Structure 1
Amino acid sequence: MLDAALAVIEENGTEISVQQIADRLHVPRPVVYRHFDGRADLDDAIRRHIVESLMAELLPRLHPDGTVRELVRGAVGTYVGWVERHPHLHRFLAAADPHGDSATVLAGARDRIGGQLADLFADTLQRFGIDRNRARPMAFGTVGFVDGVVNSWRAAPTLTSEQVEGILTESVLALLEGNARSLDVPLTRDTVVSELMARAQLSPRSPAGVATVVADL
């Protein structure tokens, strides 16, 4: 039923009726309402389904494979590409009541993305002997920045998706490199993430590095 609702939104835009969903399913309109406590409950369920669809594509891209540039470009490109392919679904998400259950769903999605990114940042910082609590504001600041730029682009799409993807990728890379320099972490956009993790184990500030230094004394 929710797949049918998404298909109707994709074809007709955000202003859809329950009758359109019922017609798509070839069932009477009351059958749709049997599964939900009114229209607001239906809309919340649709938004949850949209978010799950997006997360299924995006979360696998937030893994430490390849270079930093490849990780950032892959995640940014996946999100921008999804929004471009599904403009009506993105607009339906954006139209959620800020005080309703849908807002909680969207906040939860940002928490999942930001949380996974924060874990990646925190693990790297900790390996270099740096307070892992620094990771959370860096991660959620990055997520908020990307989301804000994409929302602005969709409101006034004067640039192509490739241009937006390029701007976002370069901006996020500059942000990561700037934070890395301030923390004395040897990270650049061309750093292979797995190699960075291995180097971190040998850092004099890391627990393993401290143990090695002590053993050599």
Structure 2
Amino acid sequence: MTTTSGNPEHPVADGRATRWHGHKARRRADVIDAAITVIEEHGDDVSVQQIADRLNLPRPVVYRHFDGRTDLDEQIRRQILDSLLAQIMPTLHPDGTVADAVRGAVGTYVRWVERHPNLHRFISGPVPQGDSSLAGARDQIGSRLADLFAIWLSRFGIDQGRARPMAFGIIGFVDGVVNSWRADSASTLASDQVEGILTESVLALFEGNARSLGVPLERDAVVGDLLARPEALRTE
């Protein structure tokens, strides 16, 4: 082992080992990217041989960089979910009106599913407990929405415990409609129609929940104002 001059107790990192780790990380990234491309082109039932063929590599080389097929599939799901969340999470910031925010979030998800049906099927399928899945993405989105609801409710002195059921009820509704639409091969609905139906339905849920709590809510209200100055919405 290479050491500092005259001091065997302080080893210097082997440059070859550092280069190998960098090479391994790049190869793992290449494999995951190739797998996603294969899924996009051929469907969610991807084989390791298809991934290897895409990279012009022997099949054992693909496995060399992962702890088996389960690990490979998990890393593929993680990258797909990271990409999806990177598009959806920015739409949950309090900019624009309530209608704008709902339309932006719903539209982003519907259009992503339409553009990437095979990726959607891949992350929607059953996975071992603890693995990444679409449920993990729903949890992150639902938690972000619940945080916004909690801030809004707290301004009115309303129990913040209502926030999570409201948020996850909406997330479950959107997910159910989208899954039903994609599973129905006879459906004649275009993505913009599904987006419109979902937007109106979610806005109706927002308004209905607000009425049940005695808090008026207009869909053209600015989200930032609702969070910062909710007293403006109180009934006289």
State the alpha-carbon separation in 2 of the partners of residues 204 and 54 from structure 1. Answer: 37
- 1:22 is matched with 52
State whether structure 2 residue 35 is matched by structure 1 residue 5: yes
- 1:146 is matched with 174
Instruction: State the superposition RMSD in angstroms.
Output: 1.8
**CA 1:202 to 1:95, structure 2 compared with 1: closer, same or farther past 3 Å?**
closer
Unaligned 5+ segments in structure 2 are 1-30
How far apart are residue 122 of structure 1 and its match? 0.5
Unaligned 5+ segments in structure 1 are 206-217
How far apart are residue 24 of structure 1 and its match? 1.7
State whether structure 2 residue 154 is matched by structure 1 residue 126: yes
1:84 to 107, 114, 129: 114
Calculate the TM-score normalised by the size of structure 2.
0.81
- Per-residue Cα deviation, 1:179-214 (whole angstroms, up to 9, x for no partner): 111112231211111222343256789xxxxxxxxx
State whether structure 2 residue 83 is matched by structure 1 residue 40: no
Q: Which has the larger radius of gyration?
A: 2
How far apart are residue 44 of structure 1 and its match? 1.8
Q: Is the 8 A contact 1:51 1:106 kept in 2?
A: yes
State whether structure 2 residue 231 is matched by structure 1 residue 193: no
Aligned AA (1:111): D
- 1:208 is matched with none
Aligned AA (1:22): A
Q: Percentage identity across aligned positions?
A: 68
Which fold has the larger relative contact order, with Cα–Cα distance below 8 Å and residues 6 or more apart in sequence?
1
**CA 1:118 to 1:16, structure 2 compared with 1: closer, same or farther past 3 Å?**
same
- 2:21 is matched with none
Q: Return 84-93 or 38-47, whichever deviates more.
A: 38-47
Aligned AA (1:21): I
State the alpha-carbon separation in 1 of the partners of residues 42 and 129 from structure 2. Answer: 24
Question: Number of matched residues?
Answer: 203
- 2:214 is matched with 184
Moved beyond 3 Å, runs of 4+: 99-102, 201-205
Equivalent residue of 2:145, what SS? helix
